[in-house]
Amino acid sequence: MARSIDIDRRRKAVYGWLLLLPAGVLLSLFAFYPTVATFWSSLFSRGTRRRPSEFVGAENYAALFNDPTFWTVVQNNLLYTAVTIPLSIVIALVMALWANSRIPARSFVRTAYFTPTVLPMIAAANLWLFFYTPGLGVLDQIGRVFGFAPVNWLGQPDTALWAIIIVTVWKEAGFFMIFYLAALQTIPEDLREAADIEGASRWTYTRRIVLPLLMPTTLFVMVNAMINSVKLIDHLFILTKGGPSDASKLILYYIWEMAFAFFDAPRAAAMTMLVLLVLCVVAAIQFFLIDRRTHYQ
């Protein structure tokens, strides 16, 4: 019998690998190989007519660290991350609590919260352009009613990044709300009844019972938001193009610019490696800290 079990096992292994093959090939082509290739090409100089590409070791990284724009961009992205994540999570949570409670016009409220999620970021940016345009935009028109001077939201270093952040939060919050809604609906009604009997206030109930139960969802949403804070840059193309004077430039936009506008692929590759490194850290946190406690498995 041991023999047939052995054959069965071997057959299963063959099947298993065969089933994984198509996905494996594509993942290798578009994730693993490019990662290695990115690292490799980050070690070479850019080839031009005068000087062909040559091995330069860490020079691209050194150049990057000496590039003040790079540090501006890193700072911008840190701020972007640090603000969009908590802000969109809190708003999403509030939205979910409201959308889950018995209020009038609940379905309208739900739809309204969720709608931005289905819009392309490019379209969203166009909508917001109408808000931000100095003098002519909706914000300034409203401001005028209250006697405020027009503000150049996208044209000032102090406000440009914030304007971008607001669009991101607007786009993200409804999406995250869905996860909270899902989690809220798994909380059994008896908990709430028990709390009522105990005479706990709604606030206490929310704080002591609901929020802890939502913790795994929050962690999941947080990781998502973190990834989004790297990849959600489409609106920059419409709203600010990273300006004024790099005040709203984010790292992925800078990578794109470096590679496709300045044609410096090696420098872009070096930046990509640094981003991947950061993402790896996030991944590690996810795997070793969060997965233990969530319902992933």
Residues 245-284 that bind another protein (CB under 8 A): 245-246, 252, 255-256, 259-263, 265, 268-269, 272, 275-276, 279-280, 282-283
Phi-psi region at 201: left, alpha or beta (left = phi > 0; alpha = psi -120 to 50):
beta
Residues 132-171 that bind another protein (CB under 8 A): 133-136, 138, 141, 150, 152, 154-157, 170
Cβ neighbours of residue 52 closer than 8 Å, sequence gap 6 or more: none
Shortest distance, position 16 Cβ to another protein, whole Å: 4
Shortest distance, position 287 Cβ to another protein, whole Å: 8
Check if the beta carbon of residue 126 is closer than 8 Å to that of residue 238. yes
7, 26, 78, 211: which one binds another protein (CB under 8 A): 26
1, 5, 48, 147: which one binds another protein (CB under 8 A): 48
Peptide bond into 68 cis (omega under 30): no
Minimum CB distance to another protein smaller for 86 or for 135 = 135
What's the one-letter identity of residue 15?
A: Y
Residues 119-138 that bind another protein (CB under 8 A): 119-124, 126-131, 133-136, 138
How many residues make contact with another protein (CB under 8 A)? 121
Instruction: Report the C-alpha gap between 253 and 275 in whole angstroms.
Output: 12
Shortest distance, position 277 Cβ to another protein, whole Å: 11
Between the alpha carbon of residue 216 and those of residues 177, 286, 289, 292, the distances in Å are 14, 11, 11, 10
Q: Is 43 an interacting residue with respect to another protein (CB under 8 A)?
A: no
Residues 53-112 that bind another protein (CB under 8 A): 68-69, 94-95, 98-99, 101, 103-105, 107-112
Q: Is 287 an interacting residue with respect to another protein (CB under 8 A)?
A: yes
Minimum CB distance to another protein smaller for 83 or for 129 = 129
Euclidean distance between the first and the last CA atom of the chain, given in angstroms as a whole number = 33
Question: Between 121-132 and 157-184, two packed helices, what is the crossing angle to 10 degrees?
Answer: 130
For the record, the structure tokens of 260 come out as 């496709």
Taking CB under 8 A as the binding criterion, the range among 14-22, 54-62, 75-83, 187-195 that sits at the site for another protein is 14-22
Q: Which residues pair with 44 in a beta bridge?
A: 55
Q: Is 3 an interacting residue with respect to another protein (CB under 8 A)?
A: no
Instruction: Report the C-alpha gap between 99 and 109 in whole angstroms.
Output: 7
